[in-house]
Chains A and B, each alone.
Chain A
Amino acid sequence: MKQVAVVGAAGMRPRRRAQSSWRGSGLTIWLPAGIMTMVLAILVLPPIGVLLQTSLTEVNETGGAGSFTLAHYAALLADPKLYSSAWNSVIFAAMATGVSLFFGGALAWIVERTNAPLRPLAYVTAFVSLGTPYVIYVSAWLFLLGRAGPINDLYRQFSGSSGIIFNVYSMAGMVLVEGFLWSPLVFLLLSAAFRRANADMEEAARMCGASVFRTFWHISLRLAQPAIIGIGLFVFIRNLESFDVPVLIGTPGRVNLLTTDIYLSITQIPPLLGHASAFSVVLIAVVAVLLYFYGRISRNADRYASITGKGYRPRPFDLGRARWLGGAVILLNFVVILALPLLAVLWNSFMPFVRPMNLAGLRLLTMENYLAVLYETSYVQLAVNTIFVSALAATLAIFLTVIAGWLAVRRWPGGATLDQITSIPLVFPGIVLGVAMMEIALWSPLPLYGTLWLISIAFVIRYMPYGMRYAYSGVLQIHRELEEAAGVAGASQLAILRRIVAPLLSPAIIAGWLFIFLLGARELSIAVLLAGPESQTMAVAMFDQWSNGQGAEASALGAAWTVLMTICACSLYFVVRRQSDMVAGS
Chain B
Amino acid sequence: MTKWWRWRLQLVAICGMAASSALGAAAMAADGGLIEAAKKEGEVVWYSSLIQNQASRPMAAAFERKYPGIKVRVNAGVVSDLTLKLLDEARAGGVRADVSHGGSTFVRLKKAGLVDRYVPDSAADYPSDYKDPEGYWTAEVLSFLVAAINTDIVPPGDAPRSYQDILDPKWRGKIAWTNQMTQGGPPGFIGTVLQSMGRDAGLQYLRKLAQQQIVNVPANQRVVLDQVIAGQYPIALSTFNHHSEISAKKGAPVRWLKIEPVTATLDAVFLLKNAPHPNAGKLFIDFVLSGEGQAVFRAADYIPADPRTPAQIPSLKPEGGNFKVAILPPQMVEEELPDWIKIYNELFK
Contact = CB atoms under 8 A, between A and B. Distances in A.
Interface of A: 61-64, 139, 143, 146-148, 247-248, 251-252, 264, 267-271, 352-356, 364, 372, 376, 378, 435, 438-439, 442-443, 450, 528-529, 531-534, 536, 540-541, 543-545, 547-551
A247 B232 contact: no
A356 B84 CA distance: 38
Contacts of B81: 528-529
B84 A533 contact: no
22 contacts: A61-B111, A63-B87, A64-B87, A139-B223, A147-B231, A270-B83, A353-B226, A353-B229, A353-B247, A354-B227, A355-B252, A435-B84, A438-B85, A442-B91, A442-B94, A450-B96, A528-B77, A529-B77, A531-B77, A540-B52, A545-B51, A549-B243
A441 B94 CA distance: 13
A352 B251 CA distance: 8
B53 interface: yes
B230 A252 contact: no
B211 interface: no
Nearest to B239: A549
Given A62-B113, A269-B182, A353-B252, A248 B218 contact: yes
A62 B83 CA distance: 11
A141 to B, nearest CB: 14
B263 interface: no
B92 interface: yes
Nearest to A443: B92
A376 B108 contact: no
Given A435-B88, A442-B88, 14 more contacts: A143-B230, A247-B218, A251-B218, A252-B218, A264-B181, A269-B83, A353-B229, A355-B229, A364-B251, A529-B85, A531-B77, A547-B78, A548-B222, A550-B222
Contacts of A545: 51
B51 A63 contact: no
A541 to B, nearest CB: 7
B83 A147 contact: no
Contacts of B227: 148, 354
Contact of B105 (A61, A264, A270): A270
B51 A550 contact: yes
Interface of B: 45, 49-53, 57, 73-81, 83-85, 87-92, 94, 96, 104-105, 108, 111-113, 179-182, 215-223, 225-227, 229-232, 243, 247, 250-252
A376 B53 contact: yes
A1 to B, nearest CB: 53
Given A438-B85, A544-B76, A269 B105 contact: yes
Task: Give the interface centre of B78, B96, B111 by most chain A CB atoms within 10 Å.
Answer: B78
Contacts of B230: 143, 148, 354-356
Task: Give the interface centre of B81, B87, B180 by most chain A CB atoms within 10 Å.
Answer: B81
B227 to A, nearest CB: 8
Contact of B91 (A64, A146, A268, A378): A64
A247 B247 CA distance: 27
Contacts of A376: 53
Contact of B231 (A148, A352, A435, A532): A148
A355 B153 CA distance: 13
Contacts of A148: 227, 230-232
Task: Give the interface centre of A143, A355, A545, A550 by most chain B CB atoms within 10 Å.
Answer: A355
Task: Give the interface centre of A354, A439, A529 by most chain B CB atoms within 10 Å.
Answer: A354
Contacts of A533: 45, 73-75
A62 B91 contact: yes
B87 A270 contact: yes
Contacts of A147: 231-232
A354 B226 contact: yes
For the complex of A and B, list the 3 residue pairs with the smallest distance between their C-beta atoms, beginning with the closest.
A549-B222, A63-B87, A442-B92
Contacts of A372: 53
A354 B113 CA distance: 43
Contacts of B181: 264, 267-268
Nearest to B97: A533
B268 to A, nearest CB: 14
A267 B87 contact: no
A61 B219 contact: no
A97 to B, nearest CB: 23
A444 B75 CA distance: 21
A143 B232 CA distance: 9
Nearest to B217: A252
Contacts of B221: 549
B105 A543 contact: no
A442 B88 CA distance: 8
B78 A543 contact: yes
A558 to B, nearest CB: 14
A63 B91 contact: yes
Contacts of B80: 267-271
Contacts of A248: 218-219
A528 B77 CA distance: 6
B286 to A, nearest CB: 21
A105 B69 CA distance: 60
Given A62-B87, A352-B252, A443-B92, A252 B226 contact: no
Contacts of B229: 353-355
Contacts of A269: 79-80, 83, 104-105, 182
Contacts of A439: 88, 92
Contacts of A353: 226, 229, 247, 250-252
Task: Give the interface centre of B51, B75, B84 by most chain A CB atoms within 10 Å.
Answer: B84
Contacts of A549: 220-223, 225-226, 243
A251 B105 contact: no
A61 B74 contact: no
Contacts of A146: 232
B91 A251 contact: no
Contacts of B218: 247-248, 251-252
A248 B223 CA distance: 12
Contacts of A547: 49, 78, 220
Contact of A551 (B76, B108, B223): B223
Contacts of B182: 269
A364 B253 CA distance: 13
Contacts of B90: 62
A354 to B, nearest CB: 4
Contacts of B243: 549
Nearest to A550: B51
Contacts of A548: 50-51, 222
A354 B105 CA distance: 31
A544 B51 contact: yes
Given A148-B231, A378-B53, A271 B84 contact: yes
Task: Give the interface centre of A247, A376, A543, A544 by most chain B CB atoms within 10 Å.
Answer: A544
Task: Give the interface centre of B77, B90, B105, B221 by most chain A CB atoms within 10 Å.
Answer: B77
A135 to B, nearest CB: 9
Contact of B84 (A270, A531, A540): A270
B53 A252 contact: no
A352 B230 CA distance: 12
Contacts of B220: 547, 549
A202 B38 CA distance: 77
B139 to A, nearest CB: 18
A267 B251 CA distance: 33
A264 B81 CA distance: 15
B148 to A, nearest CB: 13
Nearest to B105: A269
A59 B252 CA distance: 45
B76 A529 contact: no
A155 to B, nearest CB: 14
B263 to A, nearest CB: 17
Contacts of B104: 269
B77 A63 contact: no
Contacts of A532: 75
Contact of B112 (A63, A247, A443, A550): A63
Nearest to A352: B250
A326 to B, nearest CB: 37
A531 B73 CA distance: 13
